[in-house]
Amino acid sequence: MLIIVPSYKRSECLYWVLKSIYQCEVSGIDEAKRIVVVNNHPPSREIVDRIVGSFASNTTITCRALHRKETIPATDNWFSAVSELAAEGEPVVFLGDDDLMLPWGLQSRIHEIREHQADMLLSDFADRIYFFDNGQKYWMSGPMPVEANQAKRTCAWDFFPAEHPEASFIGNHCYRNTPGFRRGLELAFAWCDSQAWLDRKVRTSMLLFYLPYAIALTGGKVLSLHAKCVLRGASADEAIQSTYSEGGNVIFFNLCAYDVFANRSLPKYTERLALVCDHFEPSIKHGLLPMLFDKNVSVIDLATTLKHAGLGLRGLVSVDLLRGLPRVAINLLGLRGARLRLLRRSGALLATEAFFDHSCRRTTVL
């Protein structure tokens, strides 16, 4: 079993990310267990090595760092790591460098993907933990999940995103390094590269979402596990300062996915992909104004992608546009992250070290 932790500039959270993996129940996993931190920020090499080294005495799960010589697009970093590190048929779990593995998050997924011999398994996440003061304090926006109360249900994945866990979040992904996975990955990258007018970092931003579709269309087996296995995290400073997710507007990424799935000339195109476009169209209409005002989205990229997707501005102009006004106002007035700023000022934060004692008392592990 391989756990890949892609890391980029978030060393203040990395210790807690790794600690959450080491608190997982792994007694039912009868194979070698290893973590590889894939550092995609060369200047962070020394601190990443120091954090990884602090877990050297643990022999249940080995941990080492892999350092990139130069920063590469995130998806290239993630999936080249699979080809470089994973043995044939080995289960691979991803965990972001600001996310925490819940105590059952490894055992439940490895058991299911092995039991059903799937190429990919999507699970769910709990939202959200925010890290403050260089990772030393935290605040949670919801209650800590309790494993015993979760309704765990594994089912075959189909083509309708609203019925399955969120595919665009890396922490939900579990694979086996199989021919079925690799065929699907190749097709998903080909879909991304069909948008050649976009920078590679931008056009591959929806690759995670494409993967279950691509694996299924190339004959692979994809499952959904309806259980929360990861506590999604964020650096409070990033959340306060960032207009949207790194690299662009989330609605623009939805537009990119709409364009891909509506493209009849793509390899393995099927009418079932076109039906998925209905899932994205409302958000594109509601988000058109925020996209126009977002500095992360080039006007040329937006206009070109709308044209390729067959969504002219005339067709998008409707009363639905007004739904984007509050988001525009929040960003123009600098109100995004106001709640997190108030929390920092009020001091209503908890020590991160105490989180692990608290979470272990609150959860029931299989």
In the chain the domains, ranked by start, together with CATH numbers, are 2-242+349-362 (3.90.550.10), 250-335 (no CATH)
Top-confidence residue, 103 or 331: 103
Q: Is the predicted pLDDT of residue 73 greater than 80, yes or no?
A: yes
* The model scores a pTM over 0.85: yes
Q: Is the predicted pLDDT of residue 322 greater than 80, yes or no?
A: no
Confidence bin at 317 (pLDDT 50/70/90): low
When pLDDT is averaged across residues 144-164 and rounded to a whole number, the result is: 79
Top-confidence residue, 149 or 230: 230
What are 235's two structure tokens? 């650096």
- For the stretch 120-139, pLDDT in tens is 999 999 999 999 999 999 99
E strands of 100-183, at which residues? 100-101, 120-132, 137-140, 154-156, 173-176
Average pLDDT of every residue of the chain: 88
- Classified as helix, coil or strand, 4 is strand
The pLDDT of residue 366: 30
- Classified as helix, coil or strand, 5 is strand
When pLDDT is averaged across residues 19-38 and rounded to a whole number, the result is: 92
Q: Is the predicted pLDDT of residue 365 greater than 70, yes or no?
A: no
The pLDDT of residue 324: 64
The pLDDT of residue 34: 96
Burial per residue of 98-116, b for 16 or more beta-carbon CB atoms within 10 angstroms, e otherwise: bbbbbbbbbbbbbbbbbee
When pLDDT is averaged across residues 13-23 and rounded to a whole number, the result is: 95
Confidence bin at 264 (pLDDT 50/70/90): very high
Confidence bin at 246 (pLDDT 50/70/90): very low
